[in-house]
C-alpha cells in the first residue's frame, strides 16, 4: 500500500525544512492550506437521471502571486490528493520562479462514463460553484488529468457569464480561443528538456537512450514524441488499458494516430503487449511515469532497473520508493521540477491574455527552454553543494522562495 499523497508531500517538505532549520511555526504556516473548497456538482444526465459529483478547489499558498493549478477530472480524485497537488503547485511555481502561488482542483468523476454534453454540463456547473474564488488575479485553473483545452474553453465561457470577458481566468485554452501556441505540448516538452540536461550532466547522450513512458495522454504523448525527435528510443508505452513494447523503438506519431482512432495504445501494429507492472520494471535507461500518483512504491521500487526516473506525473514516487532509489543511485528528477513546463507556458498564456498580444510558437519554446534550463541548473547546483537528492534540492529552492516572500510580505 503506497503512502497517501498528502502524507508524501508533507514528508518531502519536512526533509528539506529540517535542513533549513525552519521553525515549527514557519512549517505550520507554509503547510496549512489557505482555503479548502468542497462543492456539490449536480447535473442532469442524457437519460434524465440526476448525477451528483463532488468537486474541490484547494488554495494552498499565494505569497508569491495569484494561485495557479490544474483541474483533474478522475474517479480517484479525493480531498487528500487535491490538497497534496495544491501544495506541490506552490513549490513548483517557486522552483521555476514564476509569480504564482499554488492551488489545485478536481471532480471525482469517471470522464469515460460521460458523453460530451454531460462533460460540458459538469464543467459549467462546477464553475457556477467556484467562480467567486477564481479569476485572473485570484486563482487561475489549467488542464490536468481528464481535462483538456475544450474543458478550459467552457470554463472561460462560463466564468465570463458572471464576470465579463477575461480569458486570463484560465489557461490551457484552445489556440483559437485565446490559448497559447505550444501550451498543449509544454509539459511533455519540459520533461524532455530536463531529461536531456540530467543525462548530459552524467555524460550520457539522449540520442540512443532507451525510454519507457507510463501514460500516453497530454504529457506522456508529447514527451514521447519530443524524445523521439531528439533521438531517444521509446521502447515501451502504457496507458490505463495496457501497454505496447518494441525493442527497436515505437513509432510515436503513428502510435498517437492509433490512439486517436481506438482510444488506447494496445494492439498497436508491430508491437508486443506489456503490462504497467512490467513497464515500470523494464530494462531501460529512462523511466517516465506520466499518469497517476503512487505508482512507484515500497512494493515495486526494488524491481526498477532504469537509471533515471523522470517524474512527469505528480507524486508518482512514494517515500519508500524514493529511499530505495537513493540507495541504488537512481537519479529521480522530482515532479515539482520535471513537469513544471506546463505551468510555465500557462504563465506565458496568462501574460499574453493580459497584454492582448500573441507570441509566436518559437518564442514560447525559447522562453520555456530558458526557464527550464535555469531551474535545472539551480537545483543541480544546490544538490551538489548540499549533497542532497534532486528532490530535496528542489524543495530547498521552492520552500526558500516561498518562505522569503512570506516573511517579506508579512502576515
Residues with a catalytic annotation lie at 104
> Which one of 125-133, 218-226, 368-376, 386-394 is the stretch in contact with ligand NAD (CB under 6 A)?
218-226
Cα-flanking dihedrals φ and ψ of residue 35, to 5°?
A: -150, 140
Binder of ligand NAD out of 3, 63, 214, 246 (CB under 6 A): 214
State how far the Cα of 138 lies from the Cα of 1, in Å rounded to an integer. 37
Given the complex with ligand NAD, which of 27 and 147 has the nearer CB atom?
147
Binder of ligand NAD out of 219, 244, 281, 394 (CB under 6 A): 219
For ligand NAD, the binding residues in 141-180 under the rule CB under 6 A are 143-146
State how far the Cα of 254 lies from the Cα of 277, in Å rounded to an integer. 24
Min CB(68)–ligand NAD separation in Å: 11
Given the complex with ligand NAD, which of 22 and 139 has the nearer CB atom?
139
State how far the Cα of 395 lies from the Cα of 94, in Å rounded to an integer. 9
Question: DSSP class of residue 40?
Answer: E
Does residue number 348 form part of the binding site for ligand NAD (CB under 6 A)? no
| Residue at shortest CB range from ligand NAD | 217
Given the complex with ligand NAD, which of 27 and 178 has the nearer CB atom?
178
What cell numbers appear for 277 in the block?
507492472
How many other C-beta atoms are found inside a 10 Å radius of the C-beta of residue 410? 5
* Closest to 120 in 3D by CA, of 153, 169, 166, 167: 153
State how far the Cα of 243 lies from the Cα of 282, in Å rounded to an integer. 12
Min CB(49)–ligand NAD separation in Å: 25
Min CB(22)–ligand NAD separation in Å: 26
Contact 214, 276 (CB under 8 A): yes
Strand boundaries in 112-254, DSSP class E: 139-143, 210-214, 233-239, 242-245
Contact 130, 37 (CB under 8 A): yes
Does residue number 347 form part of the binding site for ligand NAD (CB under 6 A)? no
CA dist 51 to 48, 75, 119, Å?
A: 9, 14, 12
State how far the Cα of 56 lies from the Cα of 50, in Å rounded to an integer. 20
Binding mask 183-212 for ligand NAD (x = CB under 6 A): ----x-------------------------
Contact 68, 348 (CB under 8 A): no
The site that binds ligand NAD (CB under 6 A) totals a number of residues, namely 24
Does residue number 240 form part of the binding site for ligand NAD (CB under 6 A)? yes
Binder of ligand NAD out of 90, 276, 353, 389 (CB under 6 A): 276
Min CB(63)–ligand NAD separation in Å: 21
State how far the Cα of 168 lies from the Cα of 135, in Å rounded to an integer. 8
For ligand NAD, the binding residues in 281-310 under the rule CB under 6 A are 290-292
Does residue number 239 form part of the binding site for ligand NAD (CB under 6 A)? yes
Question: DSSP class of residue 317?
Answer: B
> Which one of 47-55, 122-130, 138-146, 387-395 is the stretch in contact with ligand NAD (CB under 6 A)?
138-146
Given the complex with ligand NAD, which of 16 and 212 has the nearer CB atom?
212
At CA 300, angle to CA 379 and CA 235, rounded to 5?
75
For ligand NAD, the binding residues in 315-334 under the rule CB under 6 A are none
Min CB(26)–ligand NAD separation in Å: 27
Binding mask 95-134 for ligand NAD (x = CB under 6 A): ----------------------------------------
Binder of ligand NAD out of 3, 108, 314, 352 (CB under 6 A): 314
Does residue number 53 form part of the binding site for ligand NAD (CB under 6 A)? no
Three-class secondary structure of residue 316 per DSSP: coil
Q: How far apart are the first and last CA of the chain?
A: 39
Given the complex with ligand NAD, which of 51 and 266 has the nearer CB atom?
266
At CA 185, angle to CA 193 and CA 82, rounded to 5?
95
Residues of this chain that interact with ligand NAD (CB under 6 A) are: 143-146, 187, 214-220, 238-240, 276, 290-292, 312-314, 339, 342
Amino acid at each position: 500500500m503506497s503512502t497517501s499523497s498528502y502524507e508524501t508531500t508533507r514528508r518531502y517538505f519536512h526533509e528539506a525544512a529540517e535542513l533549513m532549520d525552519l521553525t515549527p511555526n514557519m512549517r505550520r504556516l507554509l503547510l496549512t492550506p489557505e482555503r479548502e473548497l468542497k462543492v456539490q456538482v449536480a447535473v442532469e444526465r442524457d437519460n434524465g437521471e440526476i448525477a451528483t459529483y463532488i468537486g474541490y478547489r484547494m488554495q494552498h499558498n499565494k505569497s508569491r502571486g495569484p494561485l495557479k493549478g490544474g483541474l483533474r477530472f478522475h474517479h480517484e480524485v479525493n480531498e487528500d490528493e487535491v490538497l497534496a497537488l495544491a501544495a506541490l503547485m506552490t513549490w513548483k511555481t517557486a522552483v521555476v520562479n514564476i509569480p504564482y502561488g499554488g492551488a489545485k482542483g478536481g471532480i471525482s468523476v469517471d470522464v469515460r462514463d460521460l458523453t460530451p454534453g454531460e462533460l460540458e454540463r459538469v464543467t459549467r456547473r462546477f464553475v457556477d460553484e467556484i467562480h467567486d474564488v477564481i479569476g485572473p488575479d485570484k486563482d487561475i485553473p489549467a488542464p490536468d488529468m481528464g481535462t483538456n483545452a475544450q474543458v478550459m474553453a467552457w470554463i472561460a465561457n462560463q466564468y465570463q457569464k458572471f464576470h465579463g470577458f477575461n480569458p486570463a481566468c484560465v489557461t490551457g485554452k484552445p489556440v483559437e480561443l485565446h490559448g497559447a501556441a505550444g501550451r498543449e505540448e509544454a509539459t511533455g516538452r519540459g520533461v524532455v528538456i530536463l531529461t536531456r540536461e540530467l543525462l548530459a550532466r552524467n555524460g550520457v547522450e539522449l540520442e540512443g537512450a532507451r525510454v519507457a513512458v507510463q501514460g500516453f495522454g497530454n504529457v506522456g504523448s508529447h514527451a514521447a514524441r519530443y524524445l523521439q525527435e531528439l533521438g531517444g528510443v521509446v521502447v515501451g508505452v502504457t496507458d490505463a488499458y495496457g501497454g505496447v513494447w518494441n525493442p527497436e523503438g515505437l513509432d510515436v506519431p503513428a502510435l498517437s494516430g492509433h490512439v486517436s482512432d481506438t482510444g488506447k495504445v494496445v494492439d498497436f501494429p508491430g508491437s508486443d503487449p506489456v503490462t504497467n507492472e512490467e513497464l515500470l520494471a523494464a530494462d531501460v535507461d529512462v523511466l517516465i511515469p506520466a499518469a497517476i500518483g503512487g505508482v512507484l512504491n515500497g512494493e515495486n521500487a526494488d524491481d526498477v532497473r532504469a537509471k533515471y526516473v523522470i517524474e512527469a506525473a505528480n507524486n508518482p514516487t512514494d517515500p519508500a520508493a524514493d529511499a530505495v532509489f537513493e540507495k541504488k543511485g537512481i537519479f529521480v528528477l522530482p515532479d515539482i521540477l520535471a513537469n513544471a513546463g506546463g505551468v510555465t507556458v500557462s504563465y506565458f498564456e496568462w501574460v499574453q491574455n493580459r497584454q492582448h498580444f500573441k507570441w509566436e510558437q518559437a518564442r514560447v519554446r525559447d522562453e520555456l527552454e530558458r526557464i527550464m534550463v535555469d531551474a535545472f541548473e539551480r537545483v543541480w547546483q544546490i544538490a551538489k553543494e548540499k549533497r542532497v537528492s534532486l528532490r530535496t534540492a528542489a524543495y530547498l529552492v521552492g520552500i526558500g522562495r516561498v518562505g522569503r516572500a512570506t516573511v517579506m510580505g508579512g502576515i
